[in-house]
A = this chain, B = another copy of it.
Amino acid sequence: MPARTRRAEVGVVDLARELGVSTATVSRALNGSDTVRPELAARIREHASARGYVANRLARALSSNTSRAFVGFVIPYVDTPAYSAVAAECARLLSADGTQMILTITENDPQRELAQLQDLVATRVAGVIVSPSSGVLERSRELLRDLPTVEFHRSADIGAPGVFSDDGQSLSDAVGHLAALGHRRIGYIGQSEAISNGAARLRAVRRGAQRAGLDPDAMATRLLEPDARNGPRAVRELLERADRPTALVVGGGTLSMPVAREIRAMGLRLPEDLSLIVYGDPSWFALSDPPLTTVSVRYPELAGRAARLLLARISGSTADAPGSDRVPSEPVASELVASELVASELVHGGSTGPPPGP
């Protein structure tokens, strides 16, 4: 009564028995080893698919201690397009490679991050793509150092290659653009310097100011954790100052939307009352009237590179033989794969103009 299939119950042993060969041969045939007689291999593969055989990935990964069955994708948030778009693209590319992507959200909590990294190690992931939390624990760093790692968006200084948006030029362009329009008091709302890219972006903004002949130290600045709730408060604080800025630059994707919203809520007209330059993907701000001038980040490009970089690292890594007393993973290996920078670009909308008259 073969009415109901005994789903997923066939294993290599069954196939081997049914075909009168050994499990080793079955395994080899299924894994495309060239040491199997082609005709036999074909017959085995055919039979396997006929029986609806699906290899147990757990057993496979456990046995061959080095596999690329899984990779980890560790990010602080995913409800911001900056991360979700990258997650999607990576899952896609990795899936094409037969690799499953385990998604974990740290919520920017170092403890949670550590726990999740440990769990990933426990799953023997082949590698991780990570956007570290603001206060990465030393223990997390160690784990990452012993794993093929690709950083993105943020760096935790673990000597792993990464994929980052290079905002130096566009952010300093942004400030230059505002200065050229006549703005002297330019405010900056960015990410905390505890976050690697927060520091880099701040430097870029200051450089832009300097080049424009403004005093970087005189800029009104608010550096925050990239939490949506932090944006509006910063806006109010900056705009309530005595030397109220006539223009605002936002240096973070998560902060941009709330900031823009708050400015609208305050009833300010762009660019008559205030000039504004935000950060992220212009499409997020497309409904605004006028559309917002944006430091446009190439998220899909970043995602693709991160996925490919990890796959390259995984393939390249000559797994240390277990038990070998070799010095743990020479740092050299990490440095051979360089980080990749993808430049963002200042896209002009209509939210910048000359400062309001005094």
**What is the bound-complex CA distance between A102 and B107, given in angstroms?**
18
Contacting B at CB under 8 A, from A52-68, are 54-59, 61-62
From B87, B102, B283, give the contact of A87 (CB < 8 A): B87
Quote the shortest CB–CB distance from A89 to chain B (angstroms). Answer: 8
Cβ-closest chain B residue relative to A78? B88
Asked if A279 lies at the interface with its beta carbon under 8 angstroms from chain B, I say no
B87 touches A100 (CB 8 A): no
Known A-B contacts A87-B78, A87-B87, A91-B104; A119 and B289 likewise in contact (beta carbons under 8 Å): no
**What is the bound-complex CA distance between A199 and B257, given in angstroms?**
33
**What is the bound-complex CA distance between A264 and B288, given in angstroms?**
9
Residues on B with beta carbons closer than 8 Å to the beta carbon of A69:
123
Quote the shortest CB–CB distance from A3 to chain B (angstroms). Answer: 10
Quote the shortest CB–CB distance from A15 to chain B (angstroms). Answer: 15
**What is the bound-complex CA distance between A54 and B117, given in angstroms?**
11
A123 touches B102 (CB 8 A): no
B78 touches A81 (CB 8 A): no
Asked if A241 lies at the interface with its beta carbon under 8 angstroms from chain B, I say no
Residues on B with beta carbons closer than 8 Å to the beta carbon of A84:
78-79, 81, 83-84, 87-88
From B98, B103, B264, give the contact of A287 (CB < 8 A): B264
**What is the bound-complex CA distance between A286 and B257, given in angstroms?**
9
Residues on B with beta carbons closer than 8 Å to the beta carbon of A164:
none
From B77, B95, B101, B121, give the contact of A54 (CB < 8 A): B121
B100 touches A101 (CB 8 A): no
A123 touches B57 (CB 8 A): yes
B101 touches A102 (CB 8 A): yes
Contacting B at CB under 8 A, from A222-263, are 257, 260-261
**What is the bound-complex CA distance between A112 and B264, given in angstroms?**
43
B100 touches A102 (CB 8 A): yes
Contacting B at CB under 8 A, from A272-286, are 283, 285-286
A103 touches B105 (CB 8 A): no
Give the residue among A69, A116, A287 with the most B Cβ atoms within 10 A: A287
Quote the shortest CB–CB distance from A174 to chain B (angstroms). Answer: 19
Known A-B contacts A87-B103, A95-B105; A124 and B289 likewise in contact (beta carbons under 8 Å): no
Query: A residues within 8 Å of B by Cβ?
Result: 4, 7-8, 54-59, 61-62, 69-70, 73, 77-79, 81, 83-85, 87-88, 91-92, 95, 98, 100-105, 107, 112, 116, 118-124, 142-143, 146, 257, 260-261, 264, 283, 285-289, 292, 328
- What are 20 A-B residue pairs whose CB atoms fall within 8 Å in the complex? A4-B328, A7-B142, A8-B146, A54-B122, A69-B123, A70-B102, A78-B84, A79-B81, A79-B84, A84-B87, A91-B104, A92-B105, A92-B107, A100-B104, A100-B120, A101-B104, A257-B283, A264-B289, A287-B292, A288-B289
Q: With A101-B103, A288-B288 given, name 9 new contacts (CB 8 A).
A: A69-B123, A78-B85, A88-B105, A92-B107, A98-B119, A100-B120, A101-B102, A257-B287, A288-B289
